[in-house]
């Protein structure tokens, strides 16, 4: 087994044994004593942890961390048409004053912008 193969195997084992990192989402490439990490993980913390634990492996001289964080929203984001409808309800054209009446104007006057 070559040094590169041993490093690859050690990196895989370290990542798989750390519960803070989902090793299935991390692609490992070894070039000499340089380890490349790529893929998408669920958080910035996972990116940092993966790099930190790989750096501690004897024989690793450099870690090139190309991992990306995959944003997972905690709530559903509204669709564009919902946002558009909300904006249309919030703002209206006042032809008499030749200006846009915004949400703040509507609230100050007691209107909700729906008229």
**50-109: pLDDT as tens digits:** 999 999 999 999 999 999 998 767 777 788 888 888 777 766 655 666 666 665 554 455
Tell me the domains of the chain and their CATH numbers.
Answer: 3-69 (3.30.1340.30), 73-115 (no CATH)
> H or E stretch including 47?
helix 44-55
Higher pLDDT residue, 19 or 96? 19
Q: How many CB atoms lie within 10 A of CB 76?
A: 6
Give dist(CA 17, CA 37) in Å, integer: 16
């Amino acid at each position: 087994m070559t040094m590169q193969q041993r490093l690859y195997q050690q990196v895989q084992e370290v990542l798989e044994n750390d519960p803070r990192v989902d090793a299935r989402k991390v692609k490992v490439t070894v070039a000499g004593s340089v380890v490349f990490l790529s893929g998408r993980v669920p958080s910035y913390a996972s990116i940092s942890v993966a790099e930190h634990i790989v750096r501690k492996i004897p024989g690793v001289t450099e870690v090139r961390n190309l991992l990306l964080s995959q944003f997972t929203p905690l709530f559903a984001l509204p669709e564009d048409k919902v946002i558009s409808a909300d904006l249309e309800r919030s703002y209206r054209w006042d032809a008499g004053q030749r200006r846009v009446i915004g949400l703040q104007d509507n609230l100050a006057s007691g209107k909700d912008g729906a008229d």
